[in-house]
Chain A
Amino acid sequence: AQTVTQSQPEMSVQEAETVTLSCTYDTSENNYYLFWYKQPPSRQMILVIRQEAYKQQNATENRFSVNFQKAAKSFSLKISDSQLGDTAMYFCAFMKKDNQGGKLIFGQGTELSVKP
């Protein structure tokens, strides 16, 4: 069975600075996706970034980038130039790639506070 672990329950960062959120996972699968979702106080789940396991290049979306280390089963999220609107709960998620539409397995979440 796959597991996802986020070891930082809470983090804070000053506005305009950079912060890195950690995520590790355990799987015996070779084909999978990894995601970071943002959940603001509204509790809407918003996709931040996606990484396909077969791609060696780290995904980037504007101020958000990942450090994907497949051998170490690590998938951290870096937020550059942090903004107040980045304050939210962040969930790391794993999904096995199959033709049945795989389920997302989430970590416990990291609550990020961006301070002015």
Chain B
Amino acid sequence: EPEVTQTPSHQVTQMGQEVILRCVPISNHLYFYWYRQILGQKVEFLVSFYNNEISEKSEIFDDQFSVERPDGSNFTLKIRSTKLEDSAMYFCASSDWGNEQFFGPGTRLTVL
């Protein structure tokens, strides 16, 4: 069964460093998403991406964040200069017709 994959599973970085979180969505899907979950809190929407551009972003998704689909398979989230409060689980999701979203296993980001 096709699934969304994410790498790495855990990333530790120093405050101020750049990180890139990688996702491989399900191959025939058209809609891509990033969500984050701070430990013990609810899952929050960051950004959605369709037809090679951002379709919607949240207030969290400020200038420090960017997304890219560099080739036909990968979907990346870049955080330019990490802050302590960026420590969270980051989930990638994809969808074919924009209804049911399939989630990856997540990347746990720890900013020291």
By the criterion CB–CB under 8 Å, are B106 and A103 in contact? no
Give the interface size class of chain B.
Answer: 20 to 34
By the criterion CB–CB under 8 Å, are B31 and A101 in contact? yes
Which candidate, A40-48, A57-65, A80-88, is the interface stretch facing chain B?
A40-48
Residue from the list A50, A106, A109 in contact with B44, Cβ < 8 A: A106
Given A50-B100, A103-B45, answer yes or no on A43-B55 (Cβ-Cβ < 8 Å).
Answer: no
By the criterion CB–CB under 8 Å, are B99 and A97 in contact? yes
Given A100-B48, A101-B31, answer yes or no on A106-B43 (Cβ-Cβ < 8 Å).
Answer: yes
Main secondary structure of the interface of A (DSSP, over half): loop
Given A99-B98, A102-B98, A104-B43, answer yes or no on A43-B31 (Cβ-Cβ < 8 Å).
Answer: no
By the criterion CB–CB under 8 Å, are A103 and B105 in contact? no
Give the interface size class of chain A.
Answer: 20 to 34
By the criterion CB–CB under 8 Å, are A100 and B43 in contact? no
Within 8 Å CB of B13, what residues of A?
none
Does B65 make an interface contact (CB < 8 A)? no
Known: A43-B106, A100-B55. 10 other contacts (CB 8 A): A35-B100, A37-B103, A43-B108, A47-B100, A93-B43, A99-B98, A100-B48, A103-B58, A104-B43, A109-B42
Would you list the 3 A-B pairs with minimal beta carbon distance, nearest first? A101-B31, A101-B98, A45-B103
Chain A residues packing against B (C-beta within 8 Å): 33, 35, 37, 42-47, 50, 91, 93, 95, 97-109
